[in-house]
Amino acid sequence: MKHLKGMHDLHTHTYNSDGVLGLAELARRCSVLGYDGLVFSDHCDCSNLDDIITRAKTFCEESDGLFGDLQILAGCELTHVPPPQIERLIARARALGAAVVLVHGETIAEPVAGGTNRSAIEAGADVLAHPGLISRAEVQLAAEKGVLLEISARKGHSLTNGHVARLALEQGCPLCFGSDGHAPGDYPDMDTARRILMGAGMTLKQAEEVMQNTAAFFDRSG
């Protein structure tokens, strides 16, 4: 297994949604922290999806190579989207050029609509973020579909990390890591990310596999 040194993060927010940093400042801060890969994944729904992806893509295109070795991808997080809309908006996001499409899962910290997890998995989202008390059947389906379940560093969302990790490891479902960062101080280094993953009940080897899954998005987009 390749040992990763630099951090990769699939789940971040800028002031294009509810984050406090501009895209350039977030990229600069993560570059200084030693990140190798970063996805802008601002919150969106049918009202702002086009704008979120267009802004992120424009930044990535105009800033290529300007933040050291940091690779930046344009993505989005479909957030509190009614389940019947999820499949259509995932397809729309990809058509607009989103490299990574996350769906805001049924975290216990927010009133997400029931059925969101299953709809996101059935529609083939890249990542189901902080899926809360996801069912075993949904984890099995995610494994079949190749949808990654997120282990989250975000307060509130991280409360069910152990549940998600346990079922995913039982069912052979791939996991990934996301800071869900919104502000300075939310972005962990690699050692901290490993500790978060191990705190969810994983071995060091399993934690490394999660980080490999996370980094793979940048391999295929590079």
pLDDT tens by residue, 119-132: 999 999 999 999 99
pTM of the model: 0.96
Helix count and strand count (H, E) for the chain = 8, 8
- Distance, in Å, from the CA atom of 96 to the CA atom of 57, rounded to the nearest integer, reads 9
Distances (CA, A) of 51 to 48, 76, 83, 141, 163: 5, 10, 21, 31, 35
Q: Is the pLDDT of residue 222 over 90?
A: no
Q: Reply yes or no on domain 7-221 having CATH 3.20.20.140.
A: yes
100-104 vs 7-12, strand pairing mode: unpaired
Give the number of other Cβ atoms within 10 Å of residue 88's Cβ.
Answer: 12
Question: Residues 201, 162: contact at Cβ < 8 Å?
Answer: yes
Q: How confident is the model at residue 3 (pLDDT cuts 50, 70, 90)?
A: low
Count, residues in the chain: 222
Q: Which of 146, 191, 139, 140 is nearest to 160 (CA)?
A: 139
Residue entry with tokens 């791939």 = 174
pLDDT tens by residue, 39-74: 999 999 999 999 999 999 999 999 999 999 999 999
Q: Is the pLDDT of residue 163 over 60?
A: yes
pLDDT tens by residue, 78-97: 999 999 999 999 999 999 99
- Distance, in Å, from the CA atom of 148 to the CA atom of 137, rounded to the nearest integer, reads 15
Q: Which residues is 102 bridged to in the sheet?
A: 77, 127
Q: Is the pLDDT of residue 6 over 90?
A: no
pLDDT tens by residue, 97-116: 999 999 999 999 999 999 99
pLDDT tens by residue, 179-203: 999 999 999 999 999 999 999 999 9
Rounded mean pLDDT, 155-161: 98
Q: How confident is the model at residue 25 (pLDDT cuts 50, 70, 90)?
A: very high
